Amino acid sequence: MLEVDDPNVYVCDNSGLLKYKFQHDDDSRRDLAITNQNEIVMSSYYMGVSVYTEKGNLKSTIKLPEGNRSYGVTFHHVISKIIVLTYNKEEGSFFLLCYCEAGKLDSSTFFCNLSDGERRPYLTPHPNGPVAVVREESITFI
C-alpha cells in the first residue's frame, strides 16, 4: 500500500501484518498493482512504470511511448496483463496501454479526450474479473 506524502511502500500479508517495507524514489507515484506472481507494479507520472519484487527489489522498468504520461496502472488478473492509463498532452487524449508481464507493449488503444472541467478517468481492478475504467458518467470494462 501507499500513503500520501510517504516515500515508503508497505507490503502486508492477508491478515494485514507488515511483511516488507521499501522506499520508492519518485514522489509522483500514481498507483500500484499486484501481479499474479506477487510482483508490485507502480506507475509514476514522470518515470513510467516500475516492477518490483515483493521484497522491494526493482525488477524492470517499462518505458512509455514518447509524449505519454502515466495516470494509473492496474493488473488484469484474467488475462495476466499490465494495463496503464496514459495521457498524451500533445494529442489531448487518454490511452490504454496493455503490456505483458515481461514489459513488452501488446497494444495501445485510444480511450477518450478530456473536456474542459471534466475529471480524468481512473483504473480500478478486480482480482477475479475485468478491469474497469471509471469516468464521471460512465464505466468501461476491459
Q: Alpha-carbon distance 101 to 98, whole Å?
A: 10
User: pLDDT of 111-134, one tens digit each?
Assistant: 988 776 678 898 988 777 788 898
**Confidence at residue 130, expressed as pLDDT on a 0 to 100 scale:** 83
* Sequence-separated (6 or more) residues with CB below 8 Å from residue 77: 36, 125, 126, 127, 128
Contacts of 115 by beta carbon, 8 Å cutoff, 6+ apart: none
DSSP state of 26: -
Mean residue pLDDT of the chain comes to 85
**CATH code reported for the domain at 8-141:** 2.130.10.10
Closest-CA residue to 108 (of 121, 99, 117): 99
The 10s digit of each residue's pLDDT in 27-64 is 566 688 888 888 999 888 777 898 989 888 989 989 89
The Cα-based distances of 14 to 4, 11, 97, 134 in angstroms read: 22, 10, 30, 27
- Structural domain boundaries of the chain? 8-141
